[in-house]
C-alpha cells in the first residue's frame, strides 16, 4: 500500500468519524474526487448529505463554496456576469461561485432549467462562456449536488441527458439503529470529551498524484470485457432476457463504460487492492448506471425501478 493510499484511508476514517452511519456515501464522495468526476446524492432531509460534503471540503486545501438552489436563482448567480463600470464606461467580469474548486449544489432540483443547464455545462466543458469570452474553471473542479426526492412542489426534474454528466448518482437511506444511537450520543456531547484531532488539509497536487495512481491500478482484460458486456446488455437486453427488454427503453452511453471503469479502479485503490477485483466493479454498478438507463412505459406503469432492472442484468451477465 502506498503512502497516498494510507493518507486517503486516514481521510476516510476521519470523515466517517463525523458522518455516522453513511459509510457508503463517504466512499462515493472519495471515489468521485479520485476519479475527477461529479456526484449527485439523493436522500430524505436530515441524512447528512450536505454535512458530508462540507466535512470533506474542510479536509482539502482548496476553495469550497455552497450554492443553495432556489426557484428564483438566475444563471448569472452561478456563473457570474459582466459588470458595468460607470466611471470609465467599461465592463469587467465578476466571477460567480462556480469558479471555486469544490462546489456543493444544494437541492439542485429546486432551480429552473436555465440554471441547471448553466451548472451542468460547466461540469461537462470545465469552462464558462459569458458573451464572447470563455473562462476556464480551476483544474481541481468537482461538483457534489444533492436533491430531495420527497417534495415535488417547486422542483424541476433533471433531464436524463443532464443526469449523464454526473459520474455517480447515489441514493442514501436512514442509518441503522446502532448508528442512530451513536448520532444521538455525539449530539448530546457524550463523545465530545475525546474530539477528533484536526486533520491536516490535503494539497491539490496530492489529489492529482492520487488520481494518477488510480489510473495505474491494473485491471484484468476479462474484467474490462465484463464492463463492456454489461454496458452492451443495457442496450440490447433481449440477448439475455426478453422481460428486461420489455422494461428497458434505452441503455447506457459510452460515458457509462468510462465511468464504471474509472470508479472501479478508484474503489480498488481506496480499499488497498493491488488490482481491480470483480467486487470493485459490481458494488458500483447501480451508482454508476441507475441514471444512465431509461425505462420503458411498461416499467414505469408497473413501478419497476432502474435498480431492479440492474439487479436482473447482474444476475444474467456472467462475471469472470
User: Three cell numbers at 303?
Assistant: 413501478
Same domain, 41 and 158: yes
Residue 143 is assigned to a structural domain of this protein: yes
Asked which of 173, 203, 228 is the last residue of a domain, the reply is 173
d(CA 133, CA 316): 50
Question: What is the domain count for the chain?
Answer: 2
50, 113: one domain: yes
Calculate the CA 62 to chain-centre distance: 18
Grid coordinates of 175: 442509518
Share of the chain above pLDDT 90, in %: 50
Give the torsion through C-alpha atoms of 267, 270, 276, 282, to 10 deg. -30
Per-residue pLDDT, 269: 96
Q: Is 6 contained in some domain? A: no
Residues 167 and 264 in one domain: no
- 107 located within any domain: yes
Statement to judge: residues 151 and 253 lie in one domain: no
Q: Is the pLDDT of residue 194 over 70?
A: no
**Parallel/antiparallel/unpaired status of strands 168-171 and 39-42:** parallel
Q: 30 or 173: whose pLDDT is higher? A: 30
CA–CA distance, 10 with 318 (Å, rounded to integer): 35
Whether residues 224 and 307 fall in one domain: yes
Q: Which residue range forms the structural domain that includes residue 256?
A: 217-316
Averaged pLDDT, 202-229: 95
- State how far the Cα of 10 lies from the Cα of 68, in Å rounded to an integer: 30
**Same domain for 168 and 52:** yes
**Residue 180 or residue 281, greater confidence:** 281
Q: What's the pLDDT score for residue 152?
A: 67
166 and 44, same structural domain?
Answer: yes
Same domain? 233 vs 122? no
Q: Is residue 117 part of a domain?
A: yes
Using the 3D structure, point to which of 115, 150, 173 is the last residue of a domain.
173
155 & 222 share domain: no
Query: Which residues lie closer than 8 Å to 317 by C-beta, 6 or more apart?
Result: 226, 229, 230, 233, 240
Residue 257 has pLDDT above 70, yes or no: yes
Give residue-wise pLDDT tens across range 149-183: 776 666 778 877 778 889 999 998 888 888 888 87
Contact (Cβ atoms closer than 8 angstroms) between residue 52 and residue 22 = yes
| Residue finishing a domain among 115, 143, 173 | 173
pLDDT tens readout for residues 106-128: 888 888 888 888 888 888 889 88
Residue 225: exposure state from Cβ atoms within 10 A (0-12, 13-18, ≥19): exposed
Q: Which residue has the higher pLDDT, 149 or 69?
A: 69
Instruction: Provide the pLDDT for residue 44.
Output: 81
Q: Is residue 185 domain-resident?
A: no
Whether 139 and 241 share a structural domain: no
Nearest alpha-carbon partner for 62 in 90, 22, 102: 102
* Predicted confidence band of residue 21 (pLDDT cuts 50, 70, 90): confident
- Report yes or no on 294 lying in a domain: yes
Indicate if 226 and 311 belong to the same structural domain.
Answer: yes
Average predicted confidence (pLDDT) for the chain: 88
Q: Model confidence at 278, in pLDDT bands (50, 70, 90)?
A: very high
Same structural domain for residues 66 and 145?
Answer: yes
Residue 118, domain CATH: 3.40.50.300
pLDDT value, residue 247: 92
> Could you tell me if residue 122 is inside a domain?
yes
CATH number of the CATH domain containing 302: 1.10.8.80
CA-based nearest residue to 256, from 282, 241, 234: 234
Q: Treating both helix axes as pointing N-terminal to C-terminal, what angle do 204-215 and 254-270 enclose, rounded to 10 degrees? A: 110
For 203, other C-beta atoms within 10 Å of its C-beta total 12
Amino acid at each position: 500500500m502506498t503512502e497516498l493510499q494510507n493518507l486517503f484511508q486516514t481521510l476516510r476514517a476521519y470523515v466517517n468519524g463525523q458522518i455516522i452511519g453513511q459509510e457508503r456515501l463517504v466512499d462515493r464522495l472519495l471515489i468521485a474526487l479520485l476519479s475527477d468526476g461529479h456526484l449527485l446524492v439523493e436522500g430524505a432531509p436530515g441524512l447528512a448529505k450536505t454535512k458530508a460534503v462540507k466535512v470533506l471540503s474542510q479536509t482539502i486545501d482548496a476553495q469550497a463554496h455552497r450554492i443553495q438552489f432556489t426557484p428564483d436563482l438566475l444563471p448569472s448567480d452561478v456563473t457570474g456576469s459582466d459588470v458595468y463600470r460607470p466611471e470609465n464606461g467599461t465592463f469587467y467580469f465578476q466571477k460567480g461561485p462556480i469558479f471555486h474548486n469544490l462546489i456543493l449544489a444544494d437541492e439542485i432540483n429546486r432551480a429552473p432549467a436555465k440554471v441547471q443547464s448553466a451548472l451542468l455545462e460547466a461540469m461537462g466543458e470545465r469552462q464558462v462562456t459569458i458573451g464572447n469570452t470563455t473562462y476556464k474553471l480551476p483544474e481541481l473542479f468537482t461538483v457534489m449536488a444533492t436533491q430531495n426526492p420527497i417534495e415535488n412542489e417547486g422542483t424541476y426534474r433533471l433531464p436524463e441527458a443532464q443526469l449523464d454528466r454526473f459520474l455517480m448518482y447515489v441514493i442514501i437511506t436512514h442509518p441503522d439503529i446502532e448508528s442512530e444511537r451513536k448520532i444521538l450520543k455525539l449530539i448530546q456531547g457524550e463523545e465530545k470529551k475525546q474530539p477528533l484531532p484536526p486533520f491536516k488539509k490535503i494539497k491539490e497536487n496530492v489529489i492529482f498524484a492520487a488520481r494518477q495512481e488510480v489510473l495505474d491500478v491494473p485491471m484484468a482484460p476479462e474484467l474490462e470485457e465484463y464492463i463492456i458486456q454489461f454496458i452492451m446488455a443495457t442496450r440490447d437486453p433481449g440477448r439475455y432476457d426478453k422481460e428486461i427488454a420489455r422494461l428497458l427503453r434505452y441503455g447506457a452511453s459510452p460515458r457509462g463504460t468510462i465511468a464504471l471503469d474509472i470508479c472501479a479502479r478508484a474503489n480498488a485503490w481506496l480499499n488497498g487492492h493491488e488490482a481491480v477485483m470483480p467486487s470493485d466493479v459490481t458494488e458500483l454498478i447501480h451508482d454508476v448506471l441507475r441514471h444512465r438507463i431509461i425505462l420503458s412505459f411498461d416499467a414505469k406503469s408497473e413501478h419497476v425501478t432502474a435498480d431492479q432492472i440492474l439487479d436482473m442484468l447482474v444476475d444474467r451477465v456472467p462475471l469472470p
